[in-house]
Amino acid sequence: MMLRPHIAYRLGQLHIEEVALERIARRYGTPTYVYSRAALSEGFRAYADACRGHDALVCYAVKASSNLAILQLLAHLGAGFDIVSAGELERVLAAGGDPAKIIFSGVGKTAAELGRALEVGIGCFNVESFSELHRLDAVARDARARAPVSLRINPDVDPKTHPYIATGLKDTKFGIPIEDALAAYREAARLPHLEVVGIDCHIGSQLLEEEPLIAAVDRLTGLVDRLELEQIAIRHIDVGGGIGIAYQAEETVAVGSFVKRVLARIADWRRARHGGSPLRVLFEPGRSVVGNAGLLLARVEYLKPGHEKNYAIVDAAMNDLLRPSLYEAWHEVVPFQEGQAGAKRWDVVGPICESGDWLARDRELSLAEGDLLAFLSAGAYGMSMASHYNSRPLAAEVMVDRDTIHEIRAREPISALFAQEKLLPLTR
């Protein structure tokens, strides 16, 4: 039975591509994040293929999953990158990403981050405020450079997603309110060390409908019309993150049809108003590239059947996969052996000392201590949101390529937890 692309039961045992997950657990231990190279490549190609024949660039949102090998593979497939910190920038460079295909998003870029990005020659800064425009202009002046900028416009549309990951409504901290956009572009065009190149938005993540995004695109294209009247030329339009994925049985929009719809909408507008002069289109997908290409492998430590609830305590926790605790997100949990009988309902929880530490609730599973479990759809915002809470070292990461297992991050040794810490010179 196929559970996700390249994740399936074969002869009753859970496999990713041609490798049984049991083999990975034996060799690398648990908890371990496991990715499929084929699924990841297909996740990216769904965007790239739909863009074929258009002037478009797919900039993978590094925050979704930032392991160097994942970035390297995506760079190899032609991806650009959407980054939000100096750390993500250095990761992309270390993985061999092309600086010219990097765009830098985020509301709080420091002067040092702006300077470093300018120094390596990134493709575009997605600026989110008047203050950032001035800071970037000053940094570029000191570097005797001109910084390519796009303004992130907050189009004030409701993306209809979880409030923590909705970013395109007026009252969020993100972007420049659309009513201030003209003034911001005039300011950007006036500043001598900035070069206006684009316009962008990102209204939220895990969007299950295209309509809010199309509404946002329409607001941006309307603004481009106004800007062109003022001789402020825009070369690219960046529509932000990708479409949502199915964690449970949500109805989703296929990536290809989402991308084609956006491209067609923009092409139609260009044809109608501008006699065909095309505009480059950028996408910044994260979740839909890597989300279903990865899983978190864990082992059942203890079973605690109870009067009210049955608890299965596993060796992964909220520090490894935060999404359930933070958003009450639902991740499918599947056992290593297919279809074991005698099911009970279990809350699958970690060993961390708080009740918020749960990974799945009220799931019908047949479990024994020592069993392996896989949390599916954990490729995006899984490892990248992991922490050290309760002094738990970060999990290992492996990538499976057909019948080969590549360790792409060694399990963190305990000593690394406090390697940067220092004792006091206690003299009294």
Stretch that binds ligand LLP, among 110-118, 234-242, 300-308, 354-362 (CB under 6 A): 234-242
CA 150 to chain centre: 21
- Is the Cβ–Cβ distance between 297 and 32 less than 8 Å? yes
Q: Is 150 among the residues that bind ligand LLP (CB under 6 A)?
A: no
Active site residue 353: yes
**377 HSE (CA, 13 A, CB side):** 20
Stretch 20-39 residues interacting with ligand LLP (CB under 6 A):
none
Q: Is 294 among the residues that bind ligand LLP (CB under 6 A)?
A: no
Nearest approach in angstroms of CB 215 to ligand LLP is 17
Nearest approach in angstroms of CB 268 to ligand LLP is 24
**Contacts by residues 26-29 (CB-CB < 8 Å, ≥ 24 positions apart):** 27/405, 28/396, 28/398, 28/405, 28/407, 28/411, 29/396, 29/411
Three-class DSSP category at 281: strand
Cis-peptide into 425, omega within 30 deg: no
Among 88, 113, 284, 315, binds ligand LLP (CB under 6 A): 284
Selected catalytic residue, list 51, 59, 124, 353: 353
Nearest approach in angstroms of CB 4 to ligand LLP is 17
Among 91, 109, 323, 331, binds ligand LLP (CB under 6 A): 323
Q: Is 242 among the residues that bind ligand LLP (CB under 6 A)?
A: yes
Nearest approach in angstroms of CB 11 to ligand LLP is 34
How many CB atoms neighbour CB 211 within 10 A?
Answer: 13
Q: Is 324 among the residues that bind ligand LLP (CB under 6 A)?
A: no
Q: Which residue of this chain has its Cβ atom nearest to ligand LLP in the complex?
A: 241
Pick 85 or 221: Cβ nearer ligand LLP:
85
**Contacts by residues 85-93 (CB-CB < 8 Å, ≥ 24 positions apart):** 85/113, 86/110, 86/112, 86/113, 86/116, 86/117, 88/62, 88/63, 89/113, 89/116, 89/117, 89/120, 89/122, 91/62, 91/66, 92/62, 93/120
> Residue 210 and residue 246: Cα distance in Å, rounded?
15
Stretch that binds ligand LLP, among 67-75, 134-142, 235-243, 247-255 (CB under 6 A): 235-243
Contacts with ligand LLP by CB under 6 A lie at 61, 64, 82, 105, 165, 202, 205-206, 240-242, 284-288, 323, 327, 381
User: Which residues participate in catalysis according to the annotation?
Assistant: 353
